Copies of this chain bind each other. A is one copy, B any other.
Amino acid sequence: MKATVLIRPKQGILDPQGEAVGEALRTLGFGVSGARVGRLVDVDLDTEDPAEAHAALDRMSHELLANPLIESFTIELEDGA
């Protein structure tokens, strides 16, 4: 089963990369009031069980993929669950 974890800086956490991107977009002439930069991880899981996959991804995110102190994460299973 394929899944994606979306990882974003938490609200209130400084995001200098996002600020630079927002500034660069405005310099290019785009009407943008802000930008935040995060990352995503596409994972190919051995299990096909959505509940099991979600639980594993939650643990992966806490243990390795994200830093829960400063980042929030969202899990998306490919079937849309």
Chain A positions within 8 Å of B, measured between CB atoms, are: 6, 8, 18, 21-22, 24-25, 28, 30-47, 56, 59-60, 63-65
Contacts and interface: CB of A to CB of B under 8 A. Distances in A.
Contacts of A31: 45-47, 56
Nearest to A2: B34
B25 A60 contact: yes
A39 B37 contact: yes
What is the count of identical protomers in the complex? 2
B39 A38 contact: yes
10 contacts: A8-B42, A24-B64, A25-B43, A30-B45, A30-B56, A32-B45, A32-B46, A32-B60, A34-B43, A39-B39
